[in-house]
Amino acid sequence: MVSGAVEKGAVKGGGFADLGPRVASAVILVASAILTLYVGGDVFAFFWLFAGFAVNWEWQGLIGGERRMARIIAGGAAVAAAAAFGRNGLAGVAALEVAAFAGVAAILAGRERRLWAATGVFYAGALTFSVCWLRESLEFGLLAIAFLFAIVWGTDIFAYFGGRLIGGPKLWPRVSAGKTWSGTIAGVVSGALLGLATAYFGGGPALASFETFLVAVTAAAISQMGDLFESSVKRRFGVKDSSQLIPGHGGVMDRLDGFIFACAFAAALGLARGDPSAAANLFFW
């Protein structure tokens, strides 16, 4: 996500002025995510626990308001509970715990920031619960997360390059100055195809069905909604990046906005369909 001025400057320099730091950061993040996904267990859970902590920390700082540190602590407790209950498949208990700590954060934030503070706790909690719950799903947990990685990363990459190479009308200039219709469409289609390929090579032809492709397309589109959601929040509070933790990407929220929405969608879909497992429900219809 870049401003119009930056994008014009990038075009003069070949269209990819910020590509270097983005690629370096992305390589480290992708390698860490894949390694922890493969190892699973506590390593995977702690990786995403810290990601959830970072999301809540950035959100509470972004919105401002009263008692920021106390809100960070309340949100951190919600994230820890979401991860723990997510690993054990206790969706109802996790929702109650996150809601309770979101209420605490709302009270601490004061009248003007109550809704925003609570939303941040739910936002971070949804990430940690969803990703931990899906990974712990029997047999298909690893594949489900890899499926989502392929969709979200593919959507981001092809939206970035597609928008700069094709150009054209802006998708929603009031919210995101750099996002184009061409890039969004290229990203969603490419991300869905990469997700389908991951299902095929990771689980066999039976998993690469038309229904799986529809799930992938929906997840890709929802990931773009996540990008726009975070952009709208930052614009509301006059912030360019959620933080400066990741060179070329801003903060953890800036990197995970699409994944948070896509992962929450996948978990909700798995939950709605019931047995055999949340992850399997993404592939078998």
Band of the pLDDT at 16, cuts 50, 70, 90? low
Report residue 250 as tokens: 């801003």
**Counting Cβ atoms within 10 Å, is residue 12 exposed (0-12), middle (13-18) or buried (19+)?**
exposed
Cα 157 to Cα 194: distance, rounded to the nearest angstrom: 11
How far is CA 246 from its chain centroid?
Answer: 15
Band of the pLDDT at 87, cuts 50, 70, 90? very high
- Give the CA angle between residues 94, 95, 101 to the nearest 5°: 90
Band of the pLDDT at 169, cuts 50, 70, 90? confident
Cα 27 to Cα 30: distance, rounded to the nearest angstrom: 5
The number of beta carbons lying within 10 Å of the beta carbon of residue 75 is: 31
Cα 256 to Cα 274: distance, rounded to the nearest angstrom: 27
Section 132-136 average pLDDT = 95
pLDDT at 251 over 80: yes
Model pTM greater than 0.85?
A: yes
Cα 261 to Cα 125: distance, rounded to the nearest angstrom: 12
Pairs from 271-277 (Cβ < 8 Å, separation ≥ 24)? 271/91, 276/138, 277/137, 277/138, 277/139, 277/140, 277/141
Q: pLDDT tens digit string along 68-83?
A: 999 999 999 999 999 9
Q: What phi-psi label fits residue 14: left (phi over 0), alpha (psi between -120 and 50 degrees) or beta?
A: left
Report residue 259 as tokens: 């994944």
From 122-136, 152-166, 184-198, the region with the lowest mean pLDDT: 152-166
Q: pLDDT tens digit string along 258-272?
A: 999 999 999 999 999
Q: Which amino acid is at 216?
A: A
The number of beta carbons lying within 10 Å of the beta carbon of residue 47 is: 17
Q: pLDDT tens digit string along 207-242?
A: 999 999 999 999 999 999 999 999 999 999 988 878
pLDDT of residue 27: 86
More confident residue, 251 or 214: 214
- Give the CA angle between residues 282, 283, 285 to the nearest 5°: 95
